[in-house]
Chain A
């Protein structure tokens, strides 16, 4: 959270007696908790899989090439994210900002792909939230993942803003690392969703 290092160089209030950073530990705890969140949503989707009474089936609507492209985008954005962190740790702030921006851009592209995907489902396949159990559980699961990605994009852009404003440098690597943890987590959730929801028949 707060960084008081500037005025209290001796005692960084973010470092605990184990020598670990509070914020990073808090992020890992949050990600553990988010596993349960997505676990419950994925469990719901799987519990209802194949139990829709009407409406199109997953096979009818899924566009595997598009989704594979989206999956590749997120994986690539994970790479740019770690490159941003590595650059910041070397105090190459401008390079880091560029990588962060690239990450956010790919994230945004992913979200736009999802918007397009949802649009085709609604308009070409007549699949909405209230068409069938498949419609309900698919849109809510992937929608909440999309919301996580969107939140991540906003976060990354704010970091880029700080960097451009000269307020981000090597000392802030933990902040970027934490944003990165969140970003990679969103990526691994997609790895799970991509396989379990899109690929497995």
Chain B
């Protein structure tokens, strides 16, 4: 509401300031490759299911990071914005894991099929 120092203008337009269109395209290419790899992993014959789960989770975490970091500019944004998103995300993940533990869902994961 009040901007005595006129700092607002300085921080505006940061969205394009750090990331160029070229970066966007490169990120998109990497995302496409990871997605292809993810699906491909599924068809590796005889892959142990715990390894498969691990690989898939790592790859999707990477995709998640790329989209949030570059497309959503969080990598370059103010730390307040980062805290507003990353904190809740961590709580959400912790709660998913706790609920899975309470419902013995981990026991089911590696065994099925």
Q: A residues within 8 Å of B by Cβ?
A: 11-13, 15-21, 24-25, 28-29, 31-33, 35-36, 38-40, 42-44, 46-51, 59, 64-65, 68, 71-72, 75-76, 78-79, 81-83, 85-86, 89-90, 173-174, 177, 180-181, 184-185, 187-188, 191-192, 194-196, 199-201
Contacts and interface: CB of A to CB of B under 8 A. Distances in A.
Given A46-B99, A75-B28, A191-B64, A199 B21 contact: no
Contacts of B39: 64-65, 68, 199
Interface of B: 1-5, 7-8, 10-13, 15-16, 19, 21, 24-25, 27-28, 31-32, 35, 38-39, 41-42, 49, 52-53, 56-57, 59-60, 63-64, 67-68, 71-72, 78, 80-81, 84-85, 87-89, 91-93, 95-96, 99-100, 102-103, 105, 108-109, 112-113
Nearest to B23: A82
12 contacts: A15-B1, A24-B81, A29-B84, A31-B84, A32-B85, A35-B89, A36-B95, A65-B39, A173-B13, A185-B72, A188-B68, A199-B41
B80 A25 contact: yes
A118 B53 CA distance: 26
Nearest to A41: B96
Given A24-B81, A191-B67, 17 more contacts: A12-B8, A36-B91, A46-B103, A51-B108, A75-B28, A76-B28, A78-B28, A79-B25, A82-B24, A86-B24, A90-B16, A184-B67, A184-B71, A184-B72, A200-B57, A200-B109, A201-B113
